[in-house]
Each structure stands twice: as structure tokens, then as C-alpha cells.
Amino acid sequence: MNTAAKIRCGVYAVISFVALIATWSQNLAYSGPEAFSRFLPDTALTPASRSITADVMLLALAAIVLMVVEARRHQVRFVWAYVAGSFLIAISVVFPLFLIARERRLAAEGSGTPRLGAVDLALLSGLALVVAAITLWVDTR
């Protein structure tokens, strides 16, 4: 695996870890026998929560289609475990893990991946900072 792919895998791993902390620090508030019966209705409490829920669910669907197609194209194993994990853990945790598995398969195949330019890296870095700030703000409320 080349250095760029290793860096991408590291970035994906960090995103997955932060997503695990950010989602499960909130999910743990839902415990007991009525946890699921409370969780889903809470996603529809306000227009903002309904918007985010619809956004995440539709993004998850697109990501899952991509995961299945790419898994079949590059022989990434256990794709349906990634799909199940997307709903049982969090898509924001599992999708980056799938991307790591995909990068490893691409490296094993000898498939090159394009390098990002300076503008892409700067914009992605800025976006990552904004997303991290919003996630921290939401998670600590």
C-alpha cells in the first residue's frame, strides 16, 4: 500500500473512532427495555431532527449501495456485515471501516488511486474542522 493510501486509511480510522465516541455517547442515553421505542420517535421531534434523520438515512442508502457494488467489484468480504453494522452501530462508524477494507483490496490488486491536489486537501481539511466543531458542539449539549 502506498503512502497516500496509508494516510487515507488513517484518516478513515480517525473518522470512525470519533464517530463511535460521538454517536455512542448519545446512544447510551437510550437504555432499558423501551430504548428503541423511544429512540426512533425522538428522531422526529423537531424539523431539524427530521431533516438530519432523513439526510442521514438517504446518505446511508447511497453509501450502502456503493459498499455493495464496490465490495463485489473488488472482492471485499463481509459486505452485509458492514450493512448490518451501519444500522446497529452507526453508518458514520462502519462506512469508514469499509473504506479501509476497500483501500486494502485496491492495494492488493495493484490498483492505483488518484492523489489529491493541494486545493482538494485544503478544502477537505477545512471541511473536517467545521464538521468536527459542529459534532463537538452537538455532542456536548
- Using one digit for the tens of pLDDT, what is the confidence trace for 81-125? 999 999 999 999 999 999 999 999 999 988 766 677 899 889 989
Residue 82 lies in a domain: yes
Q: How many CB atoms lie within 10 A of CB 97?
A: 20
Q: Which three three-digit cell numbers place residue 45? A: 421531534
Residue 27 lies in a domain: yes
Residue 70 lies in a domain: yes
Rounded to two decimals, the pTM is 0.86
The whole domain housing 88 covers: 3-114
Distance CA 113, CA 4 (A): 9
Of residues 128 and 81, the one with the higher pLDDT is 81
Of residues 38 and 16, the one with the higher pLDDT is 16
Residue 127 lies in a domain: no
The model's pLDDT over 1-30, given as tens digits with 9 standing for 90+, comes to 899 899 999 999 999 999 999 999 999 988
With a cut of 80, say whether residue 139 has pLDDT above it: no
Question: How many independent structural domains does the chain possess?
Answer: 1
Residue 56 lies in a domain: yes
Distance CA 99, CA 12 (A): 7
Residue 120 lies in a domain: no
Residue 86 lies in a domain: yes
Residue 128 lies in a domain: no
